[in-house]
Amino acid sequence: MTMLEVSVDVFLEKCDTFHGCENRSPIFPLASWYVRNGGRVGGVSLLLNTWNQRWSGKYDDLTKQVKCALEKITEDNLLEELDGFSLLSIDLDDNEIRNQVREVYRILRETEAIKKTGASKTLHLLNQELFVMWDDGIREKYHKELFKDKHYRQHSFEGKECYLQFLVDCQTILKSFLRDSSRERILEEHHGNLSSFTQTIYDKFGYRETLTKMMDEFNFVRFSGMIED
């Protein structure tokens, strides 16, 4: 079965598996709350210290580096120009948009305490409808196996072109799910499947998952060693 042949039910099942096994889930609502309330640096630093801890946790000046990277992005209006777009609505064939995605990812990836995995997590936290997170296992699977005709030998592994194509791939997959369902039905069913504890945390911080967050959960379970498929 290919990625494009996966059903909505299987997609939801993998997301449920993620929440049944992963105890760091409450960090997203808290980090998201910080960002919504003017604490972008604190929210991103919290997320990276938890979900990119093996790399970002090595840096005592993580918060300082995050602050500098976000200031650079803000100066160039890179994220602001992408506000209002979701992964379902954005035209990733548009050259101007492609260049904006490349540049914002590059700035974050070249920040020593953030790098490639942290760049995607930072971008997702700052625009949760548009950007999808990735990690080593997910990158490897997409670049070298699932969509290798669009990745392998087309661009360097893990670079800005690789991340841009990864977004295109995820967009294609999500749109394939919506042929048989709706965004609202998927999100509602997923939220209803969450434990009462998780729902309480989400409600406390006014947090709701997006399709891009669910895409990461699906990828994480399938390709990052959480379970054997």
Q: Quick check: 226 pLDDT over 50? A: yes
**Does residue 72 fall inside a structural domain?**
yes
228 is a domain residue: no
Task: Please indicate, yes or no, if residue 177 is contained in any of the structural domains.
Answer: yes
Give, in degrees to the nearest 5, the angle at Cα 227 between 209 and 19. 25
Total number of domains constituting the chain: 1
pLDDT, residue 2, reads 57
Higher per-residue pLDDT: 92 or 155:
92
In a domain, 197, yes or no: yes
Cα separation, 182 vs 174, in Å, equals 10
Percentage of the residues of the chain whose pLDDT score is greater than 70: 94
Looking at residue 76, what is its pLDDT? 84
Query: Over the stretch 99-120, which tens digit does the pLDDT of each residue have?
Result: 999 999 999 999 999 999 999 9
> Which pLDDT tens digit goes with each residue over 11-42?
999 999 999 888 888 899 999 999 999 999 99
Residue 135 Cα distances to 96, 138, 212, angstroms: 26, 5, 14
Confidence of residue 152 (pLDDT cuts 50, 70, 90): low
For position 23, what pLDDT does the model report?
A: 81
Measured CA to CA in angstroms, residue 39 lies from 34, 82, 203 at distances of 5, 20, 19
Domain span holding position 171 = 3-223
- Give the pTM: 0.92
* 74 within domain boundaries: yes
